Amino acid sequence: MVRTLLRRCAGGVLLPVAVVCAVAAGAAGFFATAAATAWIPLLCAAGLVALSAVAYLLAWPAFALLAVRRRRRAATTFAAGVAVVVGGLAAVTVFRPGPHPAAPAPPAGVRFWDLPTGSRIAYAHAAATGTPRPAPVIFLHGGPGTPGDGMPRAGTTLAADGFEVYAYDQLGAGRSTRLGDVTGYTVARQVADLEAIRVTIGADKIILIGQSWGGSLAAQYLAAHPQHVARAVFTSPGPIWPGAYPDDGGGGDPWARLSADQRERRDDLLSSPRVAVQSILQAINPNAAHALVGDDEADALLHTIAVLGKDTTGCPGASAAKVHDNHQGFYVNQLTVEDFAHVPDPRPALRQLRVPALIMRGECDFVPWVETYEYRRTLQQATLVYLPHTGHSLESGQPDAYVALLRAYLRDEPLPLPAYTSADPPS
């Protein structure tokens, strides 16, 4: 009697254990298959086979302990039931698409380059007026994958000074094309696109103005093609090379100043089962993550998060930044950041150059001071200027000072603010 009771208790315990083990096996089968293929139906099939097999193999002895006569049928029914329940839950969580609004039609003035690299790049152009300048200006936006919208105000001003001015959405961001193979989002591809743009516009030398990540990209291009850069401007630049900052990869934390409510809302957006599975897949096979969560959905999620934290990178009390509909690129952000962590150190090549450079740094920038000063330390002909009462976005925080500095520097006139020469941050 006691033995029979113990057997049945063991059988009763084994059934929920079978469910847990089956779910774990299904997840393992799903993710293990992702290492070989990005085809989501095959990942699902592998997961269901693993889940069903483990559920059956553990249910059979459980039903034997419970003295069920038709154990094979019972185990089969049990495995099928677990598969149906788990599959149903996955269908309404992991495989249920989130918001994925299509991007609005490009506004008037947006043009496209079809580059020999294979990239279709959206851009805005401000034609020069007045006395023509020999080198065109190209604005490089931040992120990676965080474009502006159209021509910056400073670009229009520089065009009136005789400069041909271009601002473009980097590959994978804004209105430019997305790649089917997301592993193609690399620093080298962005440098190659910029070089192709230089050739396309017929310029021997160009002037680069790089904001945040755009500053990192400008440094990479300068190291690769120094003979084609007339001048470079680095505004609130990201790390010149993330390998110099092994603790965190450089760049600082743009989310450090989120309020508790903002942090909670961000975490809610990122904590869904679908996003969690996407994140795991991205570590195993980025193309499988892309197959699960496509560009429209992933870009919309990143855009929502970016809008949530858009005003946390400025000084306290600063005016709210405007929101535009030129969406961020999720996969170009994720994959380029990953690739950037493994590129060779450009500083040895940059130290040999004598290309004039201007570095602008805001008082409330979240990027660590040492990373900004590394540009001044590395580039022989660099001038660093410190702007008070502004954060990471100088153009919105101190628009007049920002434009005045650009105009003076590119016209080879005395700067309206003094150069900052100390290696120590301003007190």
Percent of the chain's residues with pLDDT above 70: 98
State the total domains in the chain. 2
Domain boundary (60, 92, 124) is at 92
Tens of pLDDT, residue by residue over 136-173, are 999 999 999 999 998 999 999 999 999 999 999 999 99
Angle at Cα 257 formed by Cα 252 and Cα 260, nearest 5°? 135
Q: Is there a single domain that holds both residue 147 and residue 259?
A: yes
Q: Answer yes or no: is 218 within a domain.
A: yes
Q: Answer yes or no: is 100 within a domain.
A: no
Average pLDDT, the chain: 93
Show the tokens assigned to 285: 């096979």
Residue 130's pLDDT is: 84
Number of alpha helices (DSSP H) and beta strands (DSSP E) in the chain: 15, 8
Give the SS3 label for residue 83: helix
Distances in Å between the alpha carbon of 232 and those of 7, 228, 337, 356? 78, 11, 22, 7
Q: Is there a single domain that holds both residue 59 and residue 130?
A: no
Contact 307, 299 (CB under 8 A): no
Contact 386, 361 (CB under 8 A): yes
98 Cβ neighbours under 8 A, 6+ residues apart: 272, 274, 293, 297, 300, 301
Round to whole Å and give the CA distance between 219 and 372: 12
Q: Is there a single domain that holds both residue 122 and residue 58?
A: no
Q: Answer yes or no: is 99 within a domain.
A: no
Residue 62's pLDDT is: 86
Residue 5's pLDDT is: 64
Domain boundary (92, 126, 151) is at 92
How deeply is 325 buried, as exposed, middle or buried, from its count of CB atoms within 10 A (0-12, 13-18, 19+)?
exposed
In sequence order, the β-bridge partners of residue 231 are 207
Q: Is there a single domain that holds both residue 76 and residue 149?
A: no
Q: Is there a single domain that holds both residue 254 and residue 360?
A: yes
Residue 309's pLDDT is: 85
Q: Is there a single domain that holds both residue 62 and residue 159?
A: no
Q: Is there a single domain that holds both residue 131 and residue 234?
A: yes
Q: Answer yes or no: is 419 within a domain.
A: no
Q: Is there a single domain that holds both residue 367 and residue 311?
A: yes
Between 218 and 270, the more confident residue is 218
Task: Quote the domain boundaries for residue 47.
Answer: 2-92
Q: Answer yes or no: is 147 within a domain.
A: yes
Residue 317's pLDDT is: 84
Max CA pair span of the chain: 104
Q: Is there a single domain that holds both residue 16 and residue 138?
A: no
Give the SS3 label for residue 256: coil
Q: Is there a single domain that holds both residue 259 and residue 172?
A: yes
Q: Answer yes or no: is 420 within a domain.
A: no
The residue type at 38: A
Domain boundary (92, 119, 138) is at 92
Residue 11 in this model has a pLDDT that exceeds 70: no
Between 12 and 159, the more confident residue is 159
Residue 9 in this model has a pLDDT that exceeds 80: no
Tens of pLDDT, residue by residue over 291-349, are 999 999 999 999 999 888 888 888 988 888 888 889 899 999 999 999 999 999 999 99
Q: Is there a single domain that holds both residue 18 and residue 131?
A: no
Q: Is there a single domain that holds both residue 220 and residue 257?
A: yes
Between 419 and 254, the more confident residue is 419
Tens of pLDDT, residue by residue over 105-148, are 788 889 999 999 999 999 999 999 988 999 999 999 999 999 99
Q: Answer yes or no: is 367 within a domain.
A: yes
Contact 207, 232 (CB under 8 A): yes
9 Cβ neighbours under 8 A, 6+ residues apart: none
Residue 4's pLDDT is: 62
Give the SS3 label for residue 419: strand
Q: Answer yes or no: is 382 within a domain.
A: yes
Round to whole Å and give the CA distance between 273 and 225: 44
Q: Is the peptide bond before 344 cis (omega within 30 degrees of 0)?
A: no
Q: How many CB atoms lie within 10 A of CB 310?
A: 16
Indicate the helix (H) or strand (E) that contains 87: helix 71-92
Residue 6's pLDDT is: 63
The residue type at 217: L
User: What would the mean pLDDT of 57-68 be, rounded to a whole number?
Assistant: 86
E strands, 132-221, are: 137-140, 165-168, 206-211
Please tell me the pTM assigned to this model: 0.94
264 Cβ neighbours under 8 A, 6+ residues apart: none
